[in-house]
Each structure stands twice: as C-alpha cells, then as structure tokens.
Chain A
Amino acid sequence: GQQLNQSPQSMFIQEGEDVSMNCTSSSIFNTWLWYKQDPGEGPVLLIALYKAGELTSNGRLTAQFGITRKDSFLNISASIPSDVGIYFCAGTYKYIFGTGTRLKVLA
C-alpha cells in the first residue's frame, strides 16, 4: 500500500536553530499537507501545498512541494521551545499520514 516515510524520526535541537525535515512517497500526490501535533491533542494544519514546485511560508515555517510530486520538505527557522511536538506530512490520496518527526527544542 501507500507509504509516507518521514525523516528524521526525531531530533533534538537548540533554541534558535533552524530545522529541516522531509517526507517521501512511493507514489505521486496532488496535495501535500503538513500538520503539527501537541501532546494529548489532535493534529493541526500548518501548511498546505497544491502544486509541484510550490514553496509556501507560514511565519517561521516554509514548506515545498517536490518537483517529482513524490516528496515534500518542511523547514522551521529560529526554533523556539513551543515548536516541540510531532510533525506529520499527509497526502490526500487515501488520506495517508507519514510516520512523524518528533522535535524537541532545548532552551
């Protein structure tokens, strides 16, 4: 079946550092979505990407829809402690979620 692989699985960074994570698929997607999940909560949408090559920002977050349509990248600039959580990518074919990247920010 469809799979979305996210890397890294987890990362510890210092406050103020930039963060990069990516998501790859074995199949093509028409839409990529990036979500953040805080402990004990449901995921909340951060960025939606609708076109191959698209680069979209939301504050300190920037995401890109890969040209091959099989991958996407999320960058967080100047991380702060509240960025801690699990970041998921999702593809809208069969509404599949990636395995998640667990981010911990050290103050």
Chain B
Amino acid sequence: NAGVTQTPKFRILKIGQSMTLQCTQDMNHNYMYWYRQDPGMGLKLIYYSVGAGITDKGEVPNGYNVSRSTTEDFPLRLELAAPSQTSVYFCASSYGSGYEQYFGPGTRLTVT
C-alpha cells in the first residue's frame, strides 16, 4: 500500500513550457486534491475532485487544469508555465469530505 505517490519529485521548466504533474493513490479514496505551497506559506487549494469525472476549482485555479478519469489518478496540467508558478505542489486524497487527507511527498517546481 503506497498511499499517495507523486512524480516527478523535482522539475525545472522554462517560461511558456507545459508539463503534467502526476498523482496516484491506491486507497480507493473518492476525494483528491491539489495544493501549492509557496516558501514560508501555507497550502492553497488549486483544484479538487469528489470522484471520477468530477472536478472543481479551489482557491487558486488560474493557470492550471485537471482531469479525473479514474479513481486512482488526478493529474495536474500546467499549460504555459510562469515564474509565479514556482512552488511545491502537493497532491492529497481522502475517503470523503471531513475525513483525514493523506498527502504525497510533493513536487518541487521551478519556472525560470
């Protein structure tokens, strides 16, 4: 039981490039989330999903897209990378609303 896994661990992008951050959970959780954490700050919700095929915006969705075709996977897409997207990205999952969130190890992204 690996929990929540994220790839890659680190990535450097040039301005304007695109990439997909991968997130997979093996706990059969319905809810999945993407957060970003800027240096010295708390976590801000980007997008979340309450089940396969259902996604919704969080606090800071601009510049990102998500999809949820399966229960296990919740990829985050950056289409036109900007320096403001330099951050650490965490994926999380939970059984449902109000339940404990399990976090992945994070992806550290730098856009230069």
Contact = CB atoms under 8 A, between A and B. Distances in A.
Nearest to B103: A42
* A contact face: mostly helix, strand, loop, or mixed: loop
Interface residues of B, number: 21
Interface residues of A, number: 23
Given A1-B59, A42-B90, A88-B43, A95 B101 contact: yes
Interface stretch (B14-22, B62-70, B75-83, B92-100): B92-100
Interface string B37-79: 0000111110010000000001100000000000000000000
Interface of B: 4, 33, 35, 41-45, 48, 58-59, 90, 92, 97-98, 100-101, 103-106
Closest 10 A/B residue pairs (Cβ): A42-B103, A97-B43, A31-B98, A45-B100, A92-B98, A99-B42, A97-B42, A100-B42, A42-B90, A95-B45
29 contacts: A4-B42, A30-B98, A31-B98, A33-B100, A40-B106, A41-B105, A41-B106, A42-B106, A43-B43, A43-B101, A43-B103, A44-B103, A45-B100, A48-B100, A88-B42, A90-B101, A92-B97, A94-B45, A94-B59, A95-B33, A95-B48, A95-B58, A96-B45, A96-B59, A97-B42, A97-B43, A97-B44, A99-B42, A100-B41
